[in-house]
Amino acid sequence: MTVARTWAVALAGLEGALVEVEADLTNQIPDFRIIGLPDKALAEAVQRVHNACANSDLPLPRRRLTVNLSPASLPKQGSGFDVAVAIACLATEIPMDAASVAATVHLGELGLDGRLRPIPGVLPSVLASARAGIGRVVVPYANLEEARLVQGVEVLGAVSLGDVARWHGADIAVREREPVTQPATTTLRAPDRELAEVIGQRDAVDALVVAAAGGHHILMSGPPGAGKTMLAERLPGILPPLDDEAALASASIRSLAGERIADLERTPPFEAPHHSASVAALVGGGSRLIRPGAIARASDGVLFLDEAGEFASSALDALRQPLESGAITISRAGATASFPARFQLVVATNPCPCGNYGVPGGACVCPPIAIRRYLGRLSGPLIDRIDIELSMRRVSVAHAGAAEPGTTTAEAKVRVGEARERAARRLRATPWRLNAQVSGAWLRQGPLAPPPVVRRPLDAALHRGSLTLRGYDRVLRVAWSLADLSRHDRLDAQHIGRALFLKRGITA
Ligand SMILES: Nc1ncnc2c1ncn2[C@@H]1O[C@H](COP(=O)(O)OP(=O)(O)OP(=O)(O)O)[C@@H](O)[C@H]1O
Ligand SMILES: [Mg+2]
Ligand SMILES: [Zn+2]
């Protein structure tokens, strides 16, 4: 055979597109080239494929080999095409089952010694293969667990190029080799922390449950040691578990970020970038494959900005687009990738640089201008999106001893789940599912808009000027979450009053 075909996958963000890899052998002076818009890494594939074949006792034919990757217009990044290129080339000369080669997607990078090296993005690539109706995928052995998370596809985990050739019927000797492994990554998964460990702080725990029920962004302000970080870490545990689609998308994003994926995590992700994190770490980037940053990894989960006042303004600005659109687009020379970025934002801050401003018994040493500047850093895109502003105090030791047992994670999760079901039922004829998503117009003029007598305190605050129209809508959103949690089908004055209380707090 002089022409052989097989498949690989090109990724742009989470979207995978099948790429046909076609090798053509002609009787001309020996040469080996790849065409079809390859990037720099693909050009390097020529060298890797050449050496990997030679070191697998599968030398490439000593004639002219041309490999075409199509569609040519598709940007193809990364080193994941090596195996497909090598197999297509070998199949032009070595007897192999052409139908088998043509019906298989090959993913993986080749080491010079002929072993398959793990690559990022195996999960979205296998998903793309399944959707395209190709039922068999060869992956590097180290990515086998990850690839098996996709239902309805036969997955083969190959240690070496020789393994792959043999599967396709090549008559070559078995060589036992150690698989290349992928080092475990230290993942920032939500720690399984128990909500009942929080002593006292009734209001704060209740506010967290409200935030979880409606998907509201929340700001916590308080002195050091008040338990802000402790509380934020307990939010993923009370959110509903991810469904199949969300769990696969979340794992796909982590796969593209280079993490080792062994199972489908159902607890929503928790990302807590440090305030010194670069814009690139938040947004993503990279020189070969575009890798998602913390913002995308937090999608369908929680993005926690601890000590938010310390973040660079460029970092906070990077949140603007994802907060607006629920997605993040990363553009680099020649390539654009878009990732989902529907996260729930939790912002924690001290009330002032020294942390003692407004704390009973605390002696704040900050000049007023410093306090204003400190909180001013957070204003603009961030504060504008916050539905719940919570002022926290330290719990005293005396209180700690006397406190009755608090809400457990399991209890809170049930309440949140029921409230979300109620909201989804109410909103079923609308494009929204969570209270935080509902438009102001629908809240104020929709079929369930509260009557004047119920909204009276809100209207009064608006007229006094202590609430903007935007703030007005935020109070209504939170009020609906309170109604859902208390199993009411209508807003009443109590929900509104409580929501107003949750919206107060610090205002920069
Ligand atoms: N309500 C509480 N119940 C139990 N432990 C608490 C509580 N508040 C604080 N702690 C204890 O204090 C420690 C510090 O709390 P945490 O780190 O959450 O405070 P913080 O508000 O984030 O402070 P900082 O502003 O310094 O970041 C916690 O690890 C926890 O052990
Ligand atoms: Mg903290
Ligand atoms: Zn201070």
Domain 195-503 CATH assignment equals 3.40.50.10320? no
Q: Which ligand is nearest to the CA of 196?
A: 1
What per-residue confidence (pLDDT) applies to 507? Answer: 39
Q: Which ligand is nearest to the CA of 195?
A: 1
**Number of alpha carbons in the 13 Å side-chain half-sphere of residue 246:** 15
Nearest atom within ligand 1 for CA of residue 223: 25
Q: Which ligand is nearest to the CA of 364?
A: 3
Nearest CA to ligand 1 atom 18: 227
Q: Among residues 78, 25, 84, which one has the least CA distance to residue 49?
A: 84
CA distance linking residue 423 with residue 227, whole number of Å: 30
Phi, psi for 425 (deg, rounded to 5): -65, -45
Q: Among residues 279, 278, 280, 249, which one has the least CA distance to residue 265?
A: 249
Q: How far is the CA of 225 from the centre of ligand 3 (A)?
A: 15
Whether cis (ω within 30° of 0) applies to the bond prior to 71 is yes
CA distance linking residue 455 with residue 495, whole number of Å: 10
**386 within 8 A of 323, measured Cβ to Cβ:** no
Q: Where are the domains of the chain?
A: 3-167, 195-503
Alpha-carbon distance values, 483 to 207, 416, 450 (Å): 13, 12, 12
Three-state secondary structure string covering 53-109:
HHCCCCCCCCCEEEEEEECCCCCECCCCCHHHHHHHHHHCCCCCCHHHHHCEEECCE
Per DSSP, the chain holds a count of helices (H) and strands (E) of 21, 18
Nearest atom within ligand 1 for CA of residue 198: 3
Domain 3-167 CATH assignment equals 3.30.420.40? no
Q: Which ligand is nearest to the CA of 392?
A: 1
Q: How far is the CA of 199 from the centre of ligand 1 (A)?
A: 10
Between CA 10 and CA 17, with CA 14 as vertex, the angle to 5 degrees is 30
What per-residue confidence (pLDDT) applies to 251? Answer: 96
Q: How far is the CA of 176 from the centre of ligand 1 (A)?
A: 53
Mutation probe of ligand 1 site: the residue of 202, 206, 230 with most atoms within 8 A of C-beta: 230
CA distance linking residue 441 with residue 123, whole number of Å: 40
Provide the H-helix boundaries in 257-403. 279-283, 294-297, 313-317, 320-325, 368-376, 397-402
Nearest CA to ligand 1 atom 7: 227
Task: Report the run of H or E that residue 426 belongs to, with start and end.
Answer: helix 409-426
Q: Which amino acid is at 333?
A: A
**Per-residue pLDDT tens listing for the chain (508 residues):** 689 999 999 998 899 999 999 999 999 898 998 888 666 766 788 899 999 999 999 989 999 999 999 998 888 877 799 999 999 999 999 999 999 999 999 999 999 999 999 999 999 999 999 999 999 999 999 999 999 999 999 999 999 999 999 999 999 888 888 999 987 776 555 557 899 999 888 899 999 999 999 999 999 988 888 999 999 999 999 999 999 999 999 999 999 998 999 889 999 999 999 999 888 899 988 777 788 999 999 999 999 999 888 888 888 888 988 998 999 998 877 778 899 999 999 999 988 888 888 777 778 888 888 888 887 777 666 777 889 999 888 887 656 555 677 899 999 999 999 999 999 999 999 999 999 999 999 999 989 999 999 999 889 888 988 888 888 999 999 999 999 999 999 999 999 999 988 887 533 3
Nearest CA to ligand 1 atom 16: 227
CA distance linking residue 38 with residue 15, whole number of Å: 18
Mutation probe of ligand 1 site: the residue of 229, 233, 350, 396 with most atoms within 8 A of C-beta: 229
Q: Which ligand is nearest to the CA of 232?
A: 1
> Ligand 1 pocket by C-beta < 6 Å: which residues?
198-201, 222, 224-230, 350, 395
Nearest CA to ligand 1 atom 10: 227
Nearest atom within ligand 1 for CA of residue 230: 18
Provide the H-helix boundaries in 439-490. 440-445, 452-464, 469-485
Q: How far is the CA of 362 from the centre of ligand 3 (A)?
A: 9
**234 within 8 A of 208, measured Cβ to Cβ:** yes
Nearest CA to ligand 1 atom 1: 199
